[in-house]
Amino acid sequence: MLDRAIEGNSAWRRRDVRPEDYRISLSPACHDELRRVADEMRRFPLPTIVRHPDEFDLPQCRATMAAVRDVLDRGVRFAVLDRLPLDELGAEAVAVYWLLSSMLARPVAQKLDGTLIYDVLDTGRAALPGSGVRPDQTNIELKFHNDNSYNATPPDYVGLLCLRAAPVGGLSRVLSFHTAHNLLRAARPQALARLYRPFWFDRQREFHPGEAPVFAAPVFEAGDEVRARFSAHQIRGGYAVKGEPLDDDGAAALAALLDLFDDPDLSVEFALQPGEVQFVHNRAIGHARSEFEDFPEPERRRHLVRLWLRDGGRRAYSG
């Protein structure tokens, strides 16, 4: 992939993207279906993780999620679903989100212990190398990254349901790694070539006893299309845990990629509102979050619910 530019809808800049390219509305007919599903769930309760969309009559929602999947696979590779009626769904909102997301792909474990539904909340802890504290458990800025870059089987898609937004900050940003690839190919081909060779990633203590605490993988991989796996935080942590310095070429390549992230023309930014769901194609899109200030009351604090979706391999964390 070093000999030609990536073309098509996935290689975009902000000026190329219109809201209608990624925003997909839940119609009144979809809302009616979801209300009926929530009522049925209340009458016949089960754990969310055993629910499957085939249990319910959801033709309008299926058509909507097929449109989301099309955007993720053939469009700009990210979508915002607008929006779940949280007040009406009540305690069943997360289960409804699970059903809709399951129409895209199978939810898979996000931790070694099998956690399938992951709450994104500020825990007040610091995300230090080797600590096992993920940056999404803090209120710090998250630079552009792919989720679970430090695992052999990252999710294909990532979903984020906003239950509560922060009063200040916490904006979502997305960026095309295909565009970043094109820009490096044109201006920094040596840096791009280094990004096709392995880096150490901190595995965030998600490994079995006796296994290595770091994982080696390149940032870019060639296949039917270029696939990315990147997290500057996990790469820096990987070398810290490994106890060795990042090579000069690797440091220059990471710096070249991070420099691109500062160009506002390369990303789209939006403030997720309660009930909205962000979906990204995890191997084509980098997503980020600005630093945020939260409410002091626990019941009002910023709260997103994340799902990882992947049809291949095992549902377990290691795939």
pLDDT of 63 > 80? The answer is yes
The per-residue pLDDT for range 184-225, each reduced to its tens digit, is 999 999 999 999 999 999 999 999 999 999 999 999 999 899
Per-residue tokens: 4: 């030609």
Mean pLDDT of the region 282-298:
96
What is the Cα–Cα distance from 226 to 180, expressed in whole angstroms?
Answer: 11
Mean pLDDT of the region 264-277:
97
What is the Cα–Cα distance from 23 to 31, expressed in whole angstroms?
Answer: 16
pLDDT at residue 127, rounded to an integer: 83
Mean pLDDT of the region 249-263:
97
Per-residue tokens: 9: 């809808």
What is the Cα–Cα distance from 199 to 149, expressed in whole angstroms?
Answer: 11
Q: In sequence order, which residues have a C-beta less than 8 Å from that of residue 41 and are 6 or more positions away?
A: 51, 92, 95
The per-residue pLDDT for range 304-314, each reduced to its tens digit, is 999 999 999 99
Is residue 1 exposed (0-12), middle (13-18) or buried (19+ Cβ within 10 Å)?
middle
pLDDT of 3 > 70? The answer is yes
Residue 8 pLDDT grade (very low, low, confident, very high; cuts 50, 70, 90): very high
Residue 2 pLDDT grade (very low, low, confident, very high; cuts 50, 70, 90): confident
Question: What string of DSSP letters covers 213-241?
Answer: SEEEE-SEE-SSS-EE---HHHHHHHHHH
The per-residue pLDDT for range 22-57, each reduced to its tens digit, is 999 999 999 999 999 999 999 999 999 999 999 999
The per-residue pLDDT for range 85-128, each reduced to its tens digit, is 999 999 999 999 999 999 999 999 999 999 999 999 998 888 88
pLDDT at residue 96, rounded to an integer: 98
- Kindly tell me the sign of the dihedral angle through the C-alpha atoms of 67, 73, 76, 80: positive
Is the pTM higher than 0.75? The answer reads yes
pLDDT at residue 125, rounded to an integer: 87
pLDDT of 1 > 70? The answer is no
The per-residue pLDDT for range 141-190, each reduced to its tens digit, is 999 999 999 999 999 999 999 999 999 999 999 999 999 999 999 999 99
pLDDT of 229 > 90? The answer is yes
Q: How far is residue 10 CA from its own chain's centroid?
A: 16
What average pLDDT is seen over the chain? 96
Q: Which domains does the chain show, CATH number per domain? A: 14-186+262-309 (3.60.130.10)
